[in-house]
């Protein structure tokens, strides 16, 4: 049976996915998300708290080592507006190089004031289609949630 945390988390993600469905994955989407769901919003606080609870419950970020844990939380589905949801907990360093065939929508939740993901603090960051990077955390631990259109990601070999 699903935990209450999972149900609440899925409700939050369905709301965000529904709000961005059909929008171009570009700088305008980043502005939209930070205006309505940014670091000072109730939605951000709720998502961060639910991620912490889910990690403590053991169903989120179940793969990896202590300094970098990850896991896919939701597969693309009509209920998720065809986005997948993944969460990574990183203390420092960088993850594997990858590209985003259809873009990547990232929510950074620093766990210390100085923590940064790809040099950005708390809030939303949008990578357009065909972009690529080494996901990098500096300044302390961060939780990084990302939505992938149709679940598409291509890891560099």
What average pLDDT does range 130-156 have in this prediction?
A: 96
**For 97-109, what is each residue's pLDDT tens digit?**
999 999 999 999 9
> Which residues, 6 or more positions from 103, have their beta carbon under 8 angstroms from its beta carbon?
25, 26, 126, 127, 128, 129, 131, 148, 149
Give the whole-number percent of the chain exceeding pLDDT 70: 99
CATH no. for 4-155: 2.60.120.10
Nearest in space to 79 (alpha carbons), one of 36, 21, 152 = 21
Task: Supply the pTM of this predicted model.
Answer: 0.95
Residue extents of the structural domains in the chain: 4-155
- pLDDT score of 2: 58
**For 46-83, what is each residue's pLDDT tens digit?**
999 999 999 999 999 999 988 899 999 999 999 999 99
Question: Which pair of tokens denotes residue 90?
Answer: 């990183």
> Which residues, 6 or more positions from 14, have their beta carbon under 8 angstroms from its beta carbon?
79, 80, 81
């Amino acid at each position: 049976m699903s935990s209450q945390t999972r149900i609440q988390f899925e409700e939050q993600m369905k709301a965000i996915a529904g709000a961005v469905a059909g929008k171009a994955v570009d700088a305008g989407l980043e502005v939209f998300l930070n205006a309505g769901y940014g670091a000072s919003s109730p939605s951000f606080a709720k998502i961060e708290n639910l991620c912490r609870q889910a990690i403590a419950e053991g169903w989120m970020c179940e793969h990896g080592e202590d300094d970098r844990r990850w896991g896919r939380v939701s597969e693309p589905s009509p209920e998720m507006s065809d986005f997948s949801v993944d969460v990574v907990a990183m203390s420092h360093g960088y993850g594997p190089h990858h590209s985003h065939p259809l873009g990547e929508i990232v929510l950074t939740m620093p766990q210390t004031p100085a923590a940064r993901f790809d040099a950005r603090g708390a809030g939303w960051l949008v990578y357009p289609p065909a972009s690529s990077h080494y996901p990098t955390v500096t300044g302390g631990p961060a939780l990084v949630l990302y939505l992938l259109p149709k679940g598409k990601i291509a890891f560099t070999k």
